[in-house]
Amino acid sequence: MDVQSAINAGLFVEFVYENWKTATDATNLDGRAVVTAAGAPVIAGKNYTVLKTIYSNDLATDINPDKPLLEGFKTMGIIAQNEGDANDIFISIRGTSGVWEWVQDIKFLPRPFTPVPGSGLTEDGFTVMYLSFSLTPGPSNTFMADVVDLLPPNAKVTISGHSLGSSLATLLALDMAANTKLGVRLYTLASPRVGDLVFHNLFNHVVPDAFRIANRLDIVPKTPPPLLYFHVGDETELVPPREMKFELGCEHSIKNYFSMLATMIGKQGDYPFEANCMRA
């Protein structure tokens, strides 16, 4: 795995987090320059613009079963294009706002992943949420067809996600690789397990360029439970420094994932750990 490419892919996800306004908002990001909080391009020397915002209906849990009905469709990700190379595309998906509620409460029931027949069983909540993906803030049954119509026929698509967004990015990657002629590469940070052994085997065959990054002390990559669900892709395990607080939020933070990756290539100074996660 190219570590800098993994960080770059994650920075697109961070852009979605930083520009999505509130947990109940369907923020339209169409046409925005994809830049860091400091206003710099996410990848030095390249300028990306959001072609389309991706919306979806959020997860429901026993704690809040009416959440999707009450809050409706929300901004979940972006499709961005390199202004200097129309075939260079990033699709990035953020995590859901209720990650800890989800971990504590979800039932992890399996169901078929219907966009790719014969792909085994996938976790119910992830699957339903992915099937609600739309390029408009409302229901759509043509998401992948709409994406294909939007992109150049020779596009090379890098898909990325963090947290629960990684599970959605994984489903998207398989759907795109199996049902289109677009080139697909996947980077996930802090991904849960997504599907059963049949899904695992088919995914790894259809999407060979898939890279999964997991902090060994992060709880999210340890869910749903093994035996029924399996990870996919080529794993890079991160080891947090002793100076980092052993707290759920710190172990799962996307910024801290960037920092742990950056230490592998001597660039930790460019991607510092969150200050409130470091011991005095």
Domain boundaries, the chain: 3-277
* Percent of the chain residues past pLDDT 70, beyond the cut: 90
> Based on C-alpha coordinates, what's the Rg of the chain?
17
pLDDT score at 133 = 94
Q: Are 86 and 154 in contact (CB under 8 A)?
A: no
Summary mean pLDDT of the chain: 91
Report the Cα 198 to chain-centroid distance in Å. Answer: 22
How confident is the model over 50-72, as pLDDT tens digits? 999 999 886 655 555 666 655 67
Adjacent-strand bridge partners of 213: 189, 236
pLDDT score at 74 = 87
Q: Are 58 and 71 in contact (CB under 8 A)?
A: yes
Separation CA 46–CA 85 (nearest Å): 9
Instruction: Give the pLDDT band (50/70/90) at residue 25.
Output: confident
Phi (first) and psi of residue 34, to 5 degrees: -85, 105
* Helix ranges restricted to H, 109-196: 124-131, 143-150, 164-179
Distances (CA, A) of 155 to 130, 180, 245: 22, 11, 42
How confident is the model over 237-256, as pLDDT tens digits? 999 999 999 998 899 999 99
> Residue 99 pLDDT > 80, yes or no?
no
Domain 3-277 has CATH 3.40.50.1820: yes
pTM of the model: 0.93
> Residue 105 pLDDT > 60, yes or no?
no
Instruction: Give the pLDDT band (50/70/90) at residue 22.
Output: low
